[in-house]
């Protein structure tokens, strides 16, 4: 399968713990996006990378959130000191510069107890 | 970013054609219209994209009138597996898209 993959698919954690999610985009895609989706809502943009550069961050991305894409391939999203309000589906998408259709991964569902 | 408005939900019987209309009154000249489908616990899946008139692929058709202030996604002969949420998005085709998803249209296909 050459689509976008995300790991883990599910994560349950206790409030205050740190969690890290991984996204592997489609191999030739140089643009990568992170979104958050809560129940009954559409995905909300969090941040965007072009190659290894993080070019935009939403105000939704508080200082407890950090995203990296060190080699311009896979990306990680870390949430420090998780709160119950962080419970959501975290989606990753990738696209190829010049062909802006975004291809989404299956998401990581986070539950903070 | 142009805001979009869609019906919250729709019901349809199997085998019928379903048309979901999206309003985007302040669409910009270089904006494209894109539709995504999302099943529960999955990421959104690209369905179709267009700029004007009509676009058709193996899954759906997209109708865009001359003023481009609305668009209609047409799903021919829906089946139970088409039950999903459908999102209409508007954004430039060039440059990255900080796409804004609305709440989408929840389509329920009834046997």
Could B46 and A103 be called an inter-chain contact, meaning their C-beta atoms sit closer than 8 Å? yes
Distance of residue A104 Cα from the nearest chain B Cα, in angstroms: 5
Please tell me which residue of chain A has the smallest CA distance to B42. Answer: A106
The two beta strands, B70-75 and B61-64, are antiparallel
The two beta strands, B31-38 and B45-50, are antiparallel
Mutation target for A interface from B39, B96, B98, B103: give the one with most A CBs within 10 A: B96
Report the distance separating Cα A107 and Cα A34, nearest Å.
10
pLDDT digits 0-9 by tens, A14-45: 999 999 999 999 998 999 999 999 988 889 88
pLDDT digits 0-9 by tens, A3-17: 999 999 999 999 999
pLDDT of residue B26: 86
Q: For residue B33, which of B60, B15, B9 has the smallest C-alpha distance?
A: B60
pLDDT of residue A9: 96
Asked if residue A104 lies in contact with residue A3, where contact means CB atoms within 8 angstroms, the answer is no
Given CB atoms, is B35 within the 8 Å cutoff of chain A?
no
Could A106 and B43 be called an inter-chain contact, meaning their C-beta atoms sit closer than 8 Å? yes
In the structure encoding, which two tokens stand for residue A102, read together? 């975004």
Which 8-state DSSP code applies to residue A53? E
pLDDT digits 0-9 by tens, A66-94: 999 998 899 999 999 999 999 999 999 99
Q: Which value, to the nearest 10 degrees, does the dihedral of the CA atoms of residues B2, B7, B11, B15 take?
A: -40
Mutation target for B interface from A44, A95, A98, A101: give the one with most B CBs within 10 A: A101
Q: For residue A74, which of A25, A21, A3 has the smallest C-alpha distance?
A: A25
Of A67-76, B2-11, B72-81, B86-95, give the lowest mean pLDDT range: B86-95
What would the mean pLDDT of B12-19 be, rounded to a whole number? 97
What would the mean pLDDT of B66-72 be, rounded to a whole number? 95
pLDDT of residue B41: 86
pLDDT digits 0-9 by tens, B31-63: 889 999 999 889 999 999 999 999 999 999 999
Could A107 and B92 be called an inter-chain contact, meaning their C-beta atoms sit closer than 8 Å? no
What would the mean pLDDT of B14-39 be, rounded to a whole number? 92
Asked if residue A36 lies in contact with residue A16, where contact means CB atoms within 8 angstroms, the answer is no
Which residues have CB under 8 Å from A78's CB, separation 6+?
A: A18, A19, A20, A21, A65, A66, A67, A68
pLDDT of residue B30: 83
pLDDT at position B77 over 90: yes
pLDDT of residue A65: 96
pLDDT at position A47 over 60: yes
Please identify among residues 41-100 of chain B the ones whose CB lies closer than 8 Å to any CB of chain A: 41-46, 49, 87, 91-100
Placement of tokens 């030739």 in the chain? A28
Element (H or E) spanning B21, and its range? strand B18-23
Q: How long a stretch of residues is chain B?
A: 111
Which residues of chain B are within 8 Å of residue A33 when distances are taken between CB atoms? 96
In the structure encoding, which two tokens stand for residue B83, read together? 């039950």
What is the residue-wise DSSP string for A1-26? --S-EEE-SEEEE-TT--EEEEEE--
Q: For residue B110, which of B89, B73, B81 has the smallest C-alpha distance?
A: B81
pLDDT of residue B100: 72
């Amino acid at each position: 399968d050459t689509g976008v993959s995300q790991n883990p698919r599910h994560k349950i954690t206790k409030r205050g713990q740190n969690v890290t999610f991984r996204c592997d985009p489609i191999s030739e895609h140089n643009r990568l996006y992170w979104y958050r989706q809560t129940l009954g809502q559409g995905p909300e943009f969090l941040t965007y990378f072009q190659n290894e550069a993080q070019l935009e961050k939403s105000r939704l991305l508080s200082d407890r959130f950090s995203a990296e894409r060190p080699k311009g391939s896979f990306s990680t999203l870390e949430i420090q000191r998780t709160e119950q309000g962080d419970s959501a589906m975290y989606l990753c998408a990738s696209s190829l510069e010049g062909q802006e259709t975004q291809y989404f991964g299956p998401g990581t569902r986070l539950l903070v107890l | 970013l142009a805001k979009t408005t869609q019906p919250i939900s729709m019901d349809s019987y199997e085998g019928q054609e379903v048309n979901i209309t999206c309003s985007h009154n302040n669409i910009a000249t270089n904006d494209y219209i894109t539709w995504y489908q999302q099943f529960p616990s999955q990421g959104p899946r690209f369905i179709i994209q267009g700029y004007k008139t009509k676009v058709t692929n193996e899954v759906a058709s997209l109708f865009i009138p001359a003023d481009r202030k609305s668009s209609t996604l047409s799903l021919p002969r829906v089946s139970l597996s088409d039950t999903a949420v459908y999102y209409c998005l508007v954004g430039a085709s060039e440059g990255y898209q900080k796409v804004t998803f609305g709440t989408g249209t929840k389509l329920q296909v009834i046997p």
